[in-house]
Structure 1
Amino acid sequence: MPLGIPTATFQDTMSRPSVAFPSLLNSQTTDEFTEQSVQALQHVASHLAQVTSPTSGATASDLLPAVEAVNFDKPLGALDAALVELNELYLRDAIYFHDPSYAAHLNCPVVIPAVAAEALVTSINTSMDTFDQSAGATLIERKLIEFSAELIGFDSKAADGIFTSGGTQSNLQAMLIARNCAAARLAGSFPERLSKLRIYCSEDAHFSIRNAAMLLGLGAEAAVSIKTDFLHRMDTNALRQQLEVDAAAGLVPMAISATAGTTDFGAIDPLTDLRNLADAAGTWLHVDAAYGCGLLISQAHRSRLAGIELADSVTLDFHKSFFQPIGSSALVVRDADNFQSIIHYSDYLNPRDQAAQSTNQVDKSLQTTRRFDALKLWVTLRTIGAQALGTMFDQVISLAEMAESEIAVRDDLFLVAPVQLSTLVFGYSVSELGYSQQEANDFINLIRKRLHSSGEAMIAATTVNGQRLLKLTLLNPNTTLNDISRILDAICRVGQEILNERTTGANL
């Protein structure tokens, strides 16, 4: 008898039916599972069919009281009641990326096969850390890493990689490997070695590179921002000069982090030139292609990523330009041996003496328990294929290029830089009104706020050299030029309304 358990209690436990807890998914609760899954899918499908705008315009203060009123000590007792409650708490005011008037952030509508695969991922609840928790799932992920390496142009047999939660984690892990490789070549204590290391990225690089420097013990100042050219690509001459200055000061280049698709301008840094500079400096070249990775399967624009095959590591975000649900990202390295610096062993999980015979993924991951997110991409590729995804990404690029001309014919608007992927950054002309920079920036913010509040459209904003600007991020291949024209017309109309109010002294 188990120690400390009274006889009656132990016997009661042993005599209970195997379906003592019907809320748990197992072989005997499949009817309940099917019923409730269908119920939830029908509920969300019914709601999606009624969506007519990307946002309700609700604010946090609008939504907070209903959420705060929920009492977890009083469950509703049935799934249908919980789903009805979610209408008010979530679905009614959710942000709908699939709506053609959503043009704000790097969020994409998702392909249906991937959504269907999510049900498999969640239902089986596979953990990807060790083979004895994942079996075929591990082999599927490894096959997709091989596929991704081939798309990049790596030798797929020499390369390796791991799926991650997103580009931020992929970039962090790339910088961790680069740090370890660079530090291993230096003498002195570990803190002394870290203090010398520098990461070079463009001033438009994703913030996760600078955060990685901080998280890796280098300090945020170790991420050196390099100025960009007129297309917002890293200026190689400026980088060369900075490398020379830092070398003279005794600093050591840990990595050059290039971007293939910056968040604002979709800029792609000169990858081949950066490889040459990395070789001359004896340093790691990382390419953050979280946004631009869709070009890998593009039928028309693959050449824009020329040189990516020269990188030491590449970040891919399938939940951006491969139209996958969040999260679906990967880090791929050209040489599998580079994972050696982060391998770790635990006797209760992945013993060192069994490493040679194992296919455990935890050895090269920053996560332990990890979802089988690779399955979404696998089902998508096996259902509709990479070519279909590439055509979708080509479509949003074409849409952005057409939208460029739509901005040009509107006197109120001006484009800041040529379109390079599927984003457009533009301003509203107020230079003749004598506005200060702050007043002009406030004006831009107010346009965006009013469009959001009305639910008419969702657009983004960014700041370049102190100037607040509007931004359209296009990742929906079902969005049409007419949809974009309506958004631009709404921007011009709202802008004119604000100007008229200010002229007449209306209270804003």
Structure 2
Amino acid sequence: MTKEFSEWFLHSNNNESKFQELMTKSIQLINEEAKALQKPYSGWTREQLEKGINEIIQIPKEATDANTVFEEVQERIVRNSLWVSHPAAMAHLHCPPLIPSMAAEVMINALNQSMDSWDQSPAATYVEKRMIELFSDLIGYTDTGEGVFTSGGTQSNYMGMLLARNKVCQTRFQVNVQTEGLPSEAKKLRILCSEAAHFTVQQSAAQLGLGMNTVVQVEMNDRHELCVKDAKKKICALKSEGLIPFMVVATAGTTDFGSIDSLKEIGELSEAEELWFHVDAAYGGALLLSHQYRSLIDSIDQADSITIDFHKLYYQTVSCGAFFVKDRENFKQIAYYADYLNPEEEEPDVINLVEKSVQTTKRFDALKLFMTLKLMGTDTFGRMVDSTIQLAQDTAQMIQDDPDFELLNHPQLNAIVFRYLPRSLECEADISRINQQIQQRLYQEGTLIAAKTKYKGRAYMKFTMLNPLNHLEAMKVHLNQIKEKGKEIEREGQ
């Protein structure tokens, strides 16, 4: 009976041919599609996609020939996916993944280890530990710093708020939330963040039992950064109402504008007001390796906790993120021990990563980052990041100089928010409608994938220019595409 199954698993006598066959077919499929790729999306409509996928998603009782399966996957799925590796895909914070990261994925998947306890991931545990140490050093944390790999910014931001909540309840109300739950006084707690902070601040507040109303939004300055002056005002106002501000969340790379809050000023304010200081550097954390722009996050070491996503500007395959704390003692706020996993009486030198994570089963994502930086080197990596920021700045200047466009931000990172200005229209509602239609039509054609966003009720387009293979001549072409499409829509409305 075991022979019947052996070809489908590694470490069996018959596995080599099946493993080699399927891996080779996968590589060939991706290579073929990548070489033939003319645009980032095929242009299939939602109706075509649903019909095409439904036709192949039929699970048979008997095995299907591999050639048939790969043909279906290639024609219906891969060919109609959004190729974020194409330079014209600039909508969201989805990076073109580096080849070393893809190679590491094969090993991660084959090993299929869970990173919760040492006995399940003996070598992998030390790889993650060492990568966390290296990045803690880059941040500027002392020997007390610590961290853990996560699924990404949502989980990391949640963990920052979780530790901050538990600590303030312990120090302010003498309540251990892990054992006793939230005290009644917790309804007075307040968190400050800018209007441009990631939605996960509100989401986490809701999930942590504090409620979204706990989050107090601070005004932005003219650079779309958290206004420290307004933060001070709001803290005073909250205290006068008998409320308890206990945390401030700064952003190093906002989703729309790529803006970086003044970490130095916010850090000083946090220290003076005894607030937990969390920095969401999911996007801008890559500046740690930048040659030209590292100074933008020079004061990040003041933070009590930090979010970094490696599947954004570090060009890792999804998912790959990390959460860091200045003082590892704060992880005790979430530590839990199970006899079958990480018994409390474990030998002192045994590392069980589950003790500082909200995940149990966790991937060996540290291998991807290790292999990438080992194969590329940090010098090349830093230049690559810098080149995308320089291109964004040059493109922003080109937009500003063109009367057919309005530029909304001068990028600190590589995100640009702008809109097309139709010369025949003055009504803001019509201008917004045309910009939305430009974005939608170009997406449907599959030629240019830009994002849409809103600012003060007006519709804008956005380029998130992560791809280092992009160049200024290509950006000129894309801006002309937008203008031509805008003029076409204008003519239709006349």
TM-score category, normalised to shorter length? over 0.9
Q: Which residue of 2 aligns with 1:471?
A: 462
- Secondary structure of 2:36 counterpart: coil
The alignment status of 1:140 with 2:132, answered yes or no, reads no
Q: Given the superposition, is the C-alpha separation of residues 307 and 431 from structure 1 closer, same or farther in structure 2, using an over 3 Å criterion?
A: farther
- Secondary structure of 1:319 counterpart: coil
The alignment status of 1:299 with 2:286, answered yes or no, reads no
Q: Which residue of 1 aligns with 2:446?
A: 455
The alignment status of 1:498 with 2:489, answered yes or no, reads yes
- Structure 1 distance, partners of 2:403, 2:63, is 56
- Structure 2 distance, partners of 1:322, 1:19, is 43
Q: Which residue of 2 aligns with 1:367?
A: 359
Letter in 1 for 2:354: V
Q: Which residue of 2 aligns with 1:6?
A: none
The alignment status of 1:163 with 2:149, answered yes or no, reads yes
Q: Given the superposition, is the C-alpha separation of residues 254 and 18 from structure 1 closer, same or farther in structure 2, using an over 3 Å criterion?
A: farther
Q: Is the 8 A contact 1:186 1:193 kept in 2?
A: no
The worse-fitting range, judged by mean Cα deviation, of 83-92 and 166-175 is 83-92
For residues 111-160 of structure 1, the C-alpha deviation after alignment (integer angstroms, 9 at most, x for no partner) is 111111110000111110100000010000000000111111111x2111
- Secondary structure of 1:346 counterpart: coil
Q: Which residue of 1 aligns with 2:178?
A: none
Q: CA deviation at 1:97?
A: 1.3
Q: Which residue of 1 aligns with 2:231?
A: 239
Q: CA deviation at 1:357?
A: 3.8
Q: Which residue of 1 aligns with 2:21?
A: 35
Q: Is the 8 A contact 1:230 1:417 kept in 2?
A: no
- Secondary structure of 2:348 counterpart: helix
- Structure 2 distance, partners of 1:411, 1:74, is 62
Q: Which residue of 1 aligns with 2:221?
A: 229
- Structure 2 distance, partners of 1:76, 1:404, is 54
- Secondary structure of 1:217 counterpart: coil
- Structure 1 distance, partners of 2:63, 2:493, is 50
Q: Which residue of 2 aligns with 1:485?
A: 476
The alignment status of 1:65 with 2:51, answered yes or no, reads yes
Q: Is the 8 A contact 2:422 2:486 kept in 1?
A: no
Q: Which residue of 2 aligns with 1:94?
A: 81
Task: List gaps (5 residues or longer) in structure 1.
Answer: 1-15, 504-508
For residues 207-230 of structure 1, the C-alpha deviation after alignment (integer angstroms, 9 at most, x for no partner) is 111111111111111111111000
Q: CA deviation at 1:421?
A: 0.9
Q: CA deviation at 1:18?
A: 6.1
- Structure 1 distance, partners of 2:341, 2:413, is 43
- Structure 2 distance, partners of 1:119, 1:318, is 18
Give the ranges of 4+ consecutive aligned residues of structure 1 lying more than 3 Å apart after TM superposition. Answer: 16-21, 73-76
The alignment status of 1:208 with 2:200, answered yes or no, reads yes
Q: Which residue of 2 aligns with 1:356?
A: 348
Q: Which residue of 2 aligns with 1:7?
A: none
Q: Given the superposition, is the C-alpha separation of residues 228 and 432 from structure 1 closer, same or farther in structure 2, using an over 3 Å criterion?
A: farther
The worse-fitting range, judged by mean Cα deviation, of 127-136 and 183-192 is 183-192
Q: Given the superposition, is the C-alpha separation of residues 283 and 431 from structure 1 closer, same or farther in structure 2, using an over 3 Å criterion?
A: farther
Q: Is the 8 A contact 1:194 1:217 kept in 2?
A: no
1:122-133 counterparts in 2 under 5 A? 122-133=109-120
- Structure 1 distance, partners of 2:4, 2:361, is 27
- Structure 2 distance, partners of 1:355, 1:443, is 65
1:237-276 counterparts in 2 under 5 A? 237-276=229-268
- Structure 2 distance, partners of 1:251, 1:227, is 19
Q: CA deviation at 1:192?
A: 1.2
The alignment status of 1:423 with 2:425, answered yes or no, reads no
- Secondary structure of 1:253 counterpart: strand
Between the two proteins, the alignment pairs up a number of residues equal to 486
- Structure 1 distance, partners of 2:111, 2:127, is 15
Q: Which residue of 2 aligns with 1:5?
A: none
Q: Is the 8 A contact 2:421 2:431 kept in 1?
A: no
For residues 390-409 of structure 1, the C-alpha deviation after alignment (integer angstroms, 9 at most, x for no partner) is 11110100100110122123
Q: CA deviation at 1:43?
A: 1.3
Letter in 2 for 1:210: Q
Task: List gaps (5 residues or longer) in structure 2.
Answer: 176-180
- Rg larger in 1 or in 2? 1
Q: CA deviation at 1:41?
A: 1.1
Q: CA deviation at 1:19?
A: 6.7
Q: Given the superposition, is the C-alpha separation of residues 254 and 88 from structure 1 closer, same or farther in structure 2, using an over 3 Å criterion?
A: farther
The worse-fitting range, judged by mean Cα deviation, of 34-43 and 128-137 is 34-43
Q: Which residue of 1 aligns with 2:9?
A: 24
- Structure 2 distance, partners of 1:406, 1:229, is 24
The alignment status of 1:48 with 2:34, answered yes or no, reads yes
- Structure 2 distance, partners of 1:75, 1:89, is 22
Q: Given the superposition, is the C-alpha separation of residues 219 and 140 from structure 1 closer, same or farther in structure 2, using an over 3 Å criterion?
A: same
- Structure 1 distance, partners of 2:343, 2:370, is 30
Q: Given the superposition, is the C-alpha separation of residues 365 and 203 from structure 1 closer, same or farther in structure 2, using an over 3 Å criterion?
A: same
- Structure 2 distance, partners of 1:374, 1:490, is 40
Q: CA deviation at 1:356?
A: 3.0
- Which of 410, 434, 440 is the equivalent residue of 1:443? 434
Q: Which residue of 2 aligns with 1:345?
A: 337
- The TM-score normalised by the length of structure 2 is 0.95
- The TM-score normalised by the length of structure 1 is 0.93
The worse-fitting range, judged by mean Cα deviation, of 193-202 and 21-30 is 21-30
- Structure 2 distance, partners of 1:459, 1:75, is 43
Percent of aligned pairs with the same residue? 36
1:192-207 counterparts in 2 under 5 A? 192-207=184-199
